[in-house]
Structure 1
Amino acid sequence: MATQTQTQPQRRSKALLWTGVGVGVVGVGALIAVALADLGKADQIASVTGAVLAAVGIGLTLWGQFGRGAAAPQAAPPAPGVTASGAGAVAAGGSIGSVATGSGTSPAPAPASAPAPAPGPSTTPAPGPVTASGDRSVAAGGDIGSVSTGDA
């Protein structure tokens, strides 16, 4: 029999889920009991309870979205062995679709007859580190589609 281990946030999440289910069951049971005794009173209690729970739900949703409940996204670390030094230098560990460096440059447009291939994984991986050193130098560990390095 395999043993499953849960992390602290998973256990806390499950505990909160079951607590909410328990509160809901008790609340429905209480409303049924009050409804059997006095339907008008049950209607009033249900209205107030619904409004309070809606406000709590909105508050929890906002806290989960903008508060401490969500972890801040972190930038991916640079690929090891990929360096670019110099003004306008570009280096990539994989393929590059198009690159334009310098003032007023733009990548060459793809011919109208053939659509430009989407950049994908390189057919041959870089044998070692990828380094672009010097002004407007470009290096890639994979394929390069289009490069423009001069002033237009």
Structure 2
Amino acid sequence: MGVAALVAVAVADLGKADQIASVAGAVLAAAGLGLSLWSLRGGGSGGAATTGVTAAGERSVAAGGNIGAVATGDRATAGPAPTPPPSGGTPAPGNPIARPATGPVTASGDRSVAAGGDIGSVSTGDA
């Protein structure tokens, strides 16, 4: 509809159409910039920025994405963290690809571990 109006004005007065198009372009560019900044600051839905990640227990761990290796016990060690595949590659079985959580992630008990993605290796007991 806006394009049709601009064409109609262009037929009548090309100078006026140029001015209208310039102003409309500037307004749309400012709106796009504002939406981009809002999205980057977590205003959009469904990104890692909007996911609630909470670790409330003693020695608890929560992550909005994948966890490679975690050890929460005294002298405990977790196995090696899996390595991500080359860009665009497919991971080997048991080797997660980084992906953000799609909902809240909560580790609420002592030494609890929660992840929005995959967990590679965890040790929560004392060694």
TM-score w.r.t. structure 2 length? 0.48
Higher helix share: 1
Which structure has the higher relative contact order (CA within 8 Å, separation 6+)?
2
